[in-house]
Amino acid sequence: MQTRNKMFDDISQLMTNAMGVAQGAKDEMETAVKGMIDRWLADRDFVTREEFDAVRAMAQKAREENEALKARLDALEAKG
């Protein structure tokens, strides 16, 4: 009976070690893929969300200023 328990202990230890190796390989693969994606994105001229929002806010402000200037010009032309 002792031999059987030893065999199960050995199999259990082997499976535990295999799961540890698999987890380590998974972590290494995730790190490698993330690095590749980060490098690929860096090579493209993508903008960050913050940069996009800043430019959009600038465009909105310019549009509002244009509308205000157009209204002033229309008012001046109506007087003259």
The pLDDT tens digits of the residues spanning 6-65 come to: 888 888 898 998 999 999 999 999 999 999 998 998 888 888 899 999 999 999 999 999
- Rounded CA separation 31/25 (Å): 10
Res. 1: pLDDT tops 70 = no
Domain hosting residue 17, numbered range? 1-46
Number of structural domains in the chain = 2
> Do 56 and 34 have their domain in common?
no
C-alpha to C-alpha distances, 56 to 36, 52, 60, nearest whole angstrom: 30, 6, 6
CA atoms within 13 A on the CB side of 77: 6
Spatial neighbors of 47 by CB under 8 A, at least 6 apart, are 55
> Do 53 and 72 have their domain in common?
yes
Supply the pLDDT for residue 8.
Answer: 86
Q: CA angle at residue 75 from 73 to 80, to 5 degrees?
A: 95
Supply the pLDDT for residue 3.
Answer: 61
Whole-structure pTM value: 0.46
Res. 71: pLDDT tops 90 = yes
